[in-house]
Amino acid sequence: MRILLIDPPFKRFTGFANFYFPIGLSYVGAILEKAGHHVAILDVDAIKQTTGLDFSDEYNKLELYKQGINNDTHPVWQEIEKILSEWCPDLVGITAMTPKIGSVIKTAQLVKKVNPNCPVVVGGPHATLQPELTMKCSAIDVVVKGEAENVIAKLVAALQSKNDLSTIQGISYRLSNRVIHNQPAELLADLDQVPFPGRHLLMNPENYSSENMGVIMTSRGCPYNCSYCCHLWGRKVHNRSINNIINEIKLVIEKFGTTQFEFKDDSFTADRQRIMNLCDTLMNENIKINWGCSTRVNLLDEQLARKMKLAGCNVIKLGIETGSQRILDKTDKGITFAQVRQTAKLLNRLGIFWSGYFMFGLPTETEEDMQKTYRFMKEINPYYAGLGVYNPFPKTKLFDEAVALGLLYPEVELDHFFKTNPKDYFFKDPDKRVLNMSKEKFEEISKMMSRQFHRHNTKLINLLRRGWARRLVYKRSPAVFYADIKKVLQWV
C-alpha cells in the first residue's frame, strides 16, 4: 500500500520555530516499510520554515492557529490537498496531540475530500487518552491507542484485505455506525526489536538540519506521578540497550552528520547506572557529540553530572514548575526546593547550560503564589527559564480537581476545538482560569511574568552561555552557528 503519515500543521500558523522531526510517526513509518509498504512522512510544519522563539505573546499567536483551522482558503490546506492529490495514498495516518486536534480533524476531512474511500487512522496522545471524542469525527475510521508499533502492521494488513478488525488489540473503529473499542494492546517488551525511526521517509528533507535529525528516545515511560501529566506508557520505564542506542547514534552521524543530539526521554537519568554506562560507552568508543536531555532535580548528583559533561552533555532541562510550596504540593512532583537549589548550584558551578521550566495558572493559584515563582526563578538563576500557562489535560488529577471546582468541562464536543484558543481548551469560561483571581489581574501578572522571563533569557550573559555550550557544534557545523545567530536576532 501507499501510506502517507501526516503531522498536521500548528506552528505554521503561529510562526513559532519548528524543531526536530516527528519521531513517533517515524517509528510507525519504519515498521510499515519493513512490512513492505511504500511510506512517506509529511511534517506539514516543516514544509516552510518558521523561526519564532519569543513566547511572551503566545496566547495571541495561538489565536492565529484558531483562525487558520477555520479558514478553508489558508495556503497550508491547499498545500496538503495538493500533496494528497499528487501522492494518491491508499491509507493516511495522522498523529494527534490535544493542542492541535482541530488541525487533525481538518486534515482528516481533507483526506476524505480528495478520496472518500481512503482509510484514515489517527494515533498519538490525544487519540490514546480520548478515543471516544476522536472517533466523533466522521472522517476518522480507526484510532490507535497507546504504542502503535505492536498494532500498526496488523491493522494495515487487515484494512488492505478488508478483514475483521475485532481481534486487533489497541484500536477503536467504526462498524455499522457504531464505534467499537477493542482491548488495549500490551506494551512492547523489548524496545530493541523496534526498527530505528525512518528519518529517510521524511518529505522535504532539505528543511531539516543535522540537529533536527538528532532526536533519540532511549527509554519509554516515567516512574513518577505528577498531577498535571498523563503517561501513555505507564509508570514502568522500558529501556533500550546501550548497544542499540549507540548504533542509532552512529547511524545518524553517518547519514546526517549530526553532532548535537537530544535525548527525549521523560526522565533521562531515572536509571542512574544505565546513564553512567551510556556515558562510559560514548567516551570509550570516542563518539564526539554534544547532547541534551530532560530530567529531574532529584535524579542528578555531582558524579553523574560530571560524567555526563565529559561524555558531551551540554544542555540539561529541568521541570521546576513553581516557587510556591503550596502549589508544588499540588503538583505531586515529589521534589523539594532544597533539591532544586542544590541542583541549580551544582550545574551553575559545573558550567553546564541548564533550563528551568515553570508554569502558572493552576486552579487554586493566587497572585502571591505566582510572585513566588518569579522570585524563585531569579534566585536559582537558570541559564534559560521557560514559562507557560497551565494547560489542563484529561485523565490527570489536576484536571479532575478543576472539573470539581467548576472551572472545566469534563467533556466537550469537537466544535469546541475550532472555537477555542488551545490555551483555553476545556475551560467553561476562559476569563476564569483560576478560582481566586479576576481576568484583569491574571492578565496583568501573566504579562509581567512573561516580560521578566523574556528579559532574563535575553540577557547578554545568558545568550553567551547558550553560545558557549554549543561551541563544538559551531566548530563542526558553521551553518548551525549562522542559523542560531539569525534566530537570536529575531528573538531579542
Q: What is the spatial distance between Cα 400 and Cα 407, in angstroms, rounded to a whole number?
A: 10
DSSP per residue, 437-459: --HHHHHHHHHHHHHHHHHHHTS
The pairing of beta strand 171-175 with beta strand 142-144: antiparallel
Q: What is the spatial distance between Cα 174 and Cα 86, in angstroms, rounded to a whole number?
A: 28
Q: What share of the chain is helix, strand, coil (3-state, %, to 5)?
A: 45, 15, 35
pLDDT at residue 398, rounded to an integer: 96
- DSSP E strand boundaries for 126-278: 142-144, 171-175, 178-181, 215-216, 219-220, 238-239, 260-263
What are the pLDDT digits (tens) for 347-359?
999 999 999 999 9
pLDDT at residue 59, rounded to an integer: 84
Q: For residue 252, give the C-alpha cell.
A: 545518524
pLDDT at residue 27, rounded to an integer: 97
Distances (CA, A) of 7 to 43, 133, 163, 225: 5, 19, 27, 28
Would you say 389 and 423 are in contact if contact means Cβ atoms under 8 Å apart? yes
CATH 3.80.30.20 fits 209-390+433-491, yes or no: yes
pLDDT at residue 489, rounded to an integer: 78
pLDDT at residue 232, rounded to an integer: 75
Tell me, which fold does domain 2-181 have in CATH?
A: Rossmann fold (3.40.50)
Q: What is the spatial distance between Cα 289 and Cα 291, in angstroms, rounded to a whole number?
A: 7
Distances (CA, A) of 353 to 213, 381, 432, 458: 21, 11, 37, 14
pLDDT at residue 9, rounded to an integer: 96
Angle at 298 between CA 297 and CA 300, to 5 degrees: 75
Among candidate residues 141, 146, 118, the one with its CA nearest the CA of residue 130: 146
Q: What is the spatial distance between Cα 234 and Cα 343, in angstroms, rounded to a whole number?
A: 27
Evaluate the CA torsion angle 75, 81, 86, 92 in order and state its sign: positive
CA dihedral 43, 127, 132, 3 (to 10 degrees): 50
Integer-rounded Cα Rg, in Å, for the chain is 22
pLDDT at residue 13, rounded to an integer: 93
pLDDT at residue 18, rounded to an integer: 82
pLDDT at residue 475, rounded to an integer: 86
Q: Could you tell me where in the chain the CATH 3.80.30.20 domains are found?
A: 209-390+433-491
Q: What is the spatial distance between Cα 171 and Cα 120, in angstroms, rounded to a whole number?
A: 13
Q: Residues in the chain with pLDDT < 70?
A: 51-52, 54-56
Distances (CA, A) of 485 to 87, 196, 463: 37, 32, 10
pLDDT at residue 344, rounded to an integer: 97
Q: What is the spatial distance between Cα 364 and Cα 402, in angstroms, rounded to a whole number?
A: 9
Q: What is the spatial distance between Cα 441 and Cα 443, in angstroms, rounded to a whole number?
A: 5
Q: Could you tell me where in the chain the CATH 3.40.50.2300 domains are found?
A: 2-181
CA dihedral 443, 449, 452, 458 (to 10 degrees): -100
What are the pLDDT digits (tens) for 49-65?
776 676 667 888 899 99
Chain mean position to CA 86: 30
pLDDT at residue 57, rounded to an integer: 76
Q: Is 96 exposed, middle or buried (0-12, 13-18, 19+ CB in 10 A)?
A: buried
Would you say 248 and 280 are in contact if contact means Cβ atoms under 8 Å apart? no
Q: What is the spatial distance between Cα 66 and Cα 301, in angstroms, rounded to a whole number?
A: 44
Q: What is the spatial distance between Cα 62 and Cα 16, in angstroms, rounded to a whole number?
A: 10
Question: Which residue do the cell numbers 469537537 mark?
Answer: 414
Among candidate residues 361, 318, 323, the one with its CA nearest the CA of residue 343: 318
